[in-house]
């Protein structure tokens, strides 16, 4: 028995040593896309030999820090790197959008079965504390046929720093001048009113337990938990239900503004497009323009290409919206510019060239 | 109960090399803890230096916490930490002492072990479970049965004014009270058990009722130990993070009303450290950590002083008799 165990250990050890040819790729960053990244990594590690990926969801800020320090091969972030952060890596970074996230208003109104509609101005004024009753004329005027109660509105926001808050406040800053000047955009902000809940689950629990509450959560979380999600009026003037499709439409709507030479560091909130849900955002993988190890760079780019073209089928069931297909050639263009010692390392597969 | 130190033995021991080495090692071990504490303090202060330099004392009194504009003030968190812990003590101490007194003086012997075990089990429940219980059970109960009568009768005082939205100081204080109760009650119970029976017998012999014996003879004898138990509970309440952040509302407001939401220093750290807005934000959080450290040390030092004074008082004999 003992020898058997020893043998097993020895075999495992040998296998690990053979791994000298295994390419190890470490990444760290955003928590929001963690679910789908882990899913991708498990699937990809199983279907390919010689590549071992590893991703730790330590938060976007932590990911960018480790990327800047050079301790990880790639990072992930819910917010694009700022000019200051770009300068810290001498611009040696490419933002690759992977999936889309969206933030939805959710509420607790007993007896209201219809989905409540919100205009951007109403959302901003609720979160500024200027609209305090559910039966306020400005809410009622866009919700004909919904019997809104006269209860107080209790605002619930995230108490932890979060990319979700960043998207939400960026949207409110775009649609409300007062929000922009009084509160601004950030992962944590100085909320004019409201209670803080920790994480999507904390916000949800507080909203559920508080009559008259309104909060904001990630679309995926709302879908998985069947939360009532408000419809929001987009720039085209349509009230849009937050769904996987309407979020993908937001990215498609924003493509005209991006143009093929984009660095993908674009904001998708309040986009053009008749069916675009207006509170959406890319989440990005951060990779380097120049790598030192060709094997690593090649393996990483193969993985990303697989994730964008095949792995993204998994996205909707996990609550993420895939990026629009028209965007992948632009991303491939950018990936082909990545070099090791001045030489390009990766070409898109022949099947992808039209 | 003080044991005499075996001075005689020590002086008789020959100063062998082994002894000297042994003593050196032990001294080094003993020095590690204070050094660690000092190192921690210095490290916190260095990391917090940018905000200490920029805001100075303003940091302690300002109520603005704005990571977007990089303006930080910790007054609501300092106040909330101390306020919630004191409220918890107000709720927990009478209850815990009641449990301890009942168990040592009044309960039938067969009931002692089950009750004390059950009370101590409260300490084994994870903090996050208390938080969940707070959100899903305690807050709805407060909303339905406790807060309306409080507002109706005491709404005119600053302590029960304002609107109750659920997550609030009172919810946090009640959760904290339940969490620190087992610490206070089990230490107090040990203290009361250590009170010599002669104390009780003397009081009873003088014609005291059982209640009078407890109040005049047993409690004064154990005063120092009981204060120590309360300090232990306070220390735990000051640092509690998860359960508090789940029910306190996480709002940067200064309000005396227990119905309004608040914030604590530990909750701020837990909430904001993972996703920082800027290097300055990081420094502000380190300063909060430093303040929490200092507040805890100050509270403990004050409590230690109290224990000393109380102990001096009671060693002079049971004044009550």
**Whether pLDDT at B6 is above 90:** no
Binding-face residues of B in 146-165 toward A, CB within 8 A: 163, 165
pLDDT above 70: percentage of residues in chain B: 93
Q: Do A195 and B274 touch (CB under 8 A)?
A: no
Query: How high is the pLDDT of residue B306?
Result: 81
Confidence band for B14, pLDDT divided at 50, 70 and 90: low
Q: Do B66 and A189 touch (CB under 8 A)?
A: yes
Query: How high is the pLDDT of residue B316?
Result: 39
Residue A102 and residue A281 in contact, taking contact as beta carbons nearer than 8 Å:
yes
pLDDT above 90: percentage of residues in chain B: 78
Query: How high is the pLDDT of residue A116?
Result: 95
Nearest CA in chain A to B72: A190
Query: How high is the pLDDT of residue A228?
Result: 94
Which residue from A59, A195, A210 is facing B274, i.e. has the nearest CB?
Answer: A59
Query: How high is the pLDDT of residue B66?
Result: 94
Confidence band for A220, pLDDT divided at 50, 70 and 90: confident
What is the average per-residue pLDDT within A185-209? 93
**Whether pLDDT at A243 is above 90:** yes
What is the average per-residue pLDDT within B304-309? 82
Query: How high is the pLDDT of residue A350?
Result: 76
**Whether pLDDT at B7 is above 90:** no
Q: Quick check: A160 contacting B, CB < 8 Å?
A: yes
Average pLDDT in chain A: 90
Q: Quick check: B281 contacting A, CB < 8 Å?
A: yes
Binding-face residues of A in 97-156 toward B, CB within 8 A: 152, 154
Q: Do A198 and B271 touch (CB under 8 A)?
A: yes
For residue B92, which of B171, B175, B26 has the smallest C-alpha distance?
A: B175
* CA A232 – CA A123 distance, rounded (Å): 9
Residue A58 and residue A81 in contact, taking contact as beta carbons nearer than 8 Å:
no
Average pLDDT in chain B: 89
What is the average per-residue pLDDT within A196-221? 93
Structure-token pair, residue B272: 């904001």
pLDDT above 70: percentage of residues in chain A: 94
Query: How high is the pLDDT of residue B179?
Result: 96
Q: Quick check: B243 contacting A, CB < 8 Å?
A: no
Q: Do A162 and B275 touch (CB under 8 A)?
A: yes
Q: Do A209 and B136 touch (CB under 8 A)?
A: yes
Q: Quick check: A196 contacting B, CB < 8 Å?
A: yes
Task: Identify all chain B residues contacting A59, using CB atoms and an 8 Å cutoff.
Answer: 274-275
Task: Identify all chain B residues contacting A88, using CB atoms and an 8 Å cutoff.
Answer: none
Q: Do B251 and A196 touch (CB under 8 A)?
A: yes
* Residue predicted with more confidence, B266 or B318: B266
Total Cβ atoms within 10 A of residue A118: 22
Q: Do A161 and B277 touch (CB under 8 A)?
A: yes
Helix (H, G, I), strand (E, B) or coil at A110: coil
For residue B58, which of B45, B47, B72 has the smallest C-alpha distance?
A: B72
For residue A277, which of A121, A108, A103 has the smallest C-alpha distance?
A: A103
Question: φ, ψ for residue B281 (rounded to 5)?
Answer: -60, -40
Q: Do B274 and A61 touch (CB under 8 A)?
A: yes
Which residue from A61, A190, A198 is facing B275, i.e. has the nearest CB?
Answer: A61
Q: In this predicted model, what pLDDT tens digit does every residue of A164-183 receive, in sequence order? A: 999 999 999 999 999 999 99
Closest Cα in chain A, distance from residue B263 (Å): 9
Both ends of chain B: CA-CA distance in Å? 21
Nearest CA in chain B to A186: B68
Q: Quick check: B255 contacting A, CB < 8 Å?
A: no
The upper half-sphere exposure of residue B262, i.e. CA atoms within 13 Å in the direction of its Cβ, equals 31
């Amino acid at each position: 028995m003992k020898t058997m165990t020893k043998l097993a250990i020895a075999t495992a050890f040998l296998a690990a040593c053979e791994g000298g040819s295994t390419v190890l790729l470490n990444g760290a960053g955003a928590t929001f896309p963690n679910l789908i990244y882990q899913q991708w990594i498990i699937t990809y590690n199983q279907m390919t030999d010689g590549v071992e990926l590893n991703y730790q969801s330590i938060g976007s800020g932590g990911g960018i820090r480790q990327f800047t320090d050079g301790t990880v091969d790639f990072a992930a972030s819910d917010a694009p790197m700022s000019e200051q952060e770009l300068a810290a890596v001498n611009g040696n970074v490419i933002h690759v959008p992977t999936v889309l996230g969206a933030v939805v208003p959710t509420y607790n109104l007993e007896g209201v079965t219809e989905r409540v509609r919100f205009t951007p101005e109403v959302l901003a004024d609720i979160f500024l504390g200027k609209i305090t009753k559910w039966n306020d004329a400005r809410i009622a005027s866009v919700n004909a046929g919904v019997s809104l109660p006269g209860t107080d509105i209790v605002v619930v926001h995230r108490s932890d720093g979060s990319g979700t808050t960043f998207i939400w406040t960026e949207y409110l800053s775009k649609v409300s001048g007062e929000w922009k000047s009084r509160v601004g955009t950030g992962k944590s902000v100085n909320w004019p009113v409201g209670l803080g809940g920790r994480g999507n689950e904390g916000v949800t629990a507080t909203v559920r337990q508080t009559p008259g509450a309104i909060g904001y959560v990630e679309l995926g979380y709302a879908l998985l938990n069947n939360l009532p999600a408000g419809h929001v009026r987009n720039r085209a003037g349509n009230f849009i239900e937050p769904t996987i499709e309407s979020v993908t439409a937001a990215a498609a709507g924003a493509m005209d503004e991006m143009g093929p030479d984009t660095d993908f560091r674009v904001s998708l909130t309040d986009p053009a497009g008749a069916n675009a849900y207006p509170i959406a955002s890319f989440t990005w993988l951060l990779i380097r323009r120049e790598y030192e190890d060709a094997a690593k760079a090649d393996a990483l780019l193969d993985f990303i290409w697989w994730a964008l073209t095949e792995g993204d089928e998994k996205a909707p069931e996990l609550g993420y919206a895939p990026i629009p297909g028209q965007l992948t050639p632009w991303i491939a263009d950018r990936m082909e510019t990545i070099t090791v010692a001045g030489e390009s390392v990766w070409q898109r597969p022949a099947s992808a060239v039209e | 109960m003080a044991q005499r130190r075996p001075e005689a033995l020590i002086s008789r021991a020959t100063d062998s090399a082994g002894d000297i080495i042994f003593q050196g090692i032990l001294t080094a071990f003993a020095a590690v803890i204070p050094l660690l504490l000092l190192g921690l303090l210095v490290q916190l202060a260095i990391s917090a230096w940018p905000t200490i330099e920029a805001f100075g004392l303003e940091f302690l009194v300002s109520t603005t916490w704005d990571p977007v504009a990089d303006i930080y003030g910790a007054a609501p968190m300092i106040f909330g930490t101390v306020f919630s812990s004191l409220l918890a003590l107000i709720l927990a101490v009478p209850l815990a002492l009641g449990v301890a007194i009942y168990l040592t003086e009044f309960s039938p012997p067969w009931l002692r072990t089950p009750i004390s075990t059950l009370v101590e089990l409260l300490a084994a429940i994870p903090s996050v479970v208390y938080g969940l219980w707070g959100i899903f059970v305690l807050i709805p109960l407060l909303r339905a049965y406790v807060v309306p009568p409080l507002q109706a009768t005491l709404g005119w005082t600053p302590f029960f004014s304002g609107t109750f939205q659920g997550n609030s100081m009172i919810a946090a204080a009640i959760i904290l009270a339940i969490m620190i109760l087992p610490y206070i009650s089990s230490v107090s119970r040990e203290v009361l058990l250590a009170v010599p029976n002669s104390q009780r017998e003397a009081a009873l012999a003088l014609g005291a009722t059982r209640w009078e014996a407890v109040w005049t003879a047993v409690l004064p004898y154990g005063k120092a130990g009981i204060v120590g138990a309360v300090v232990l509970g306070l220390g735990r309440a000051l640092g509690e993070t998860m359960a508090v952040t789940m029910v306190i509302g996480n709002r940067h407001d200064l309000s005396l009303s227990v119905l309004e939401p608040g914030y604590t220093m530990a909750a701020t750290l837990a909430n904001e450290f993972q996703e920082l807005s800027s290097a300055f934000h990081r420094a502000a959080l380190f300063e909060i950590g430093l303040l929490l450290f200092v507040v805890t040390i100050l509270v403990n030092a004050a409590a230690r002083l109290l224990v000393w004074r109380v102990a001096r008082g009671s060693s002079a004999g049971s004044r009550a008799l």
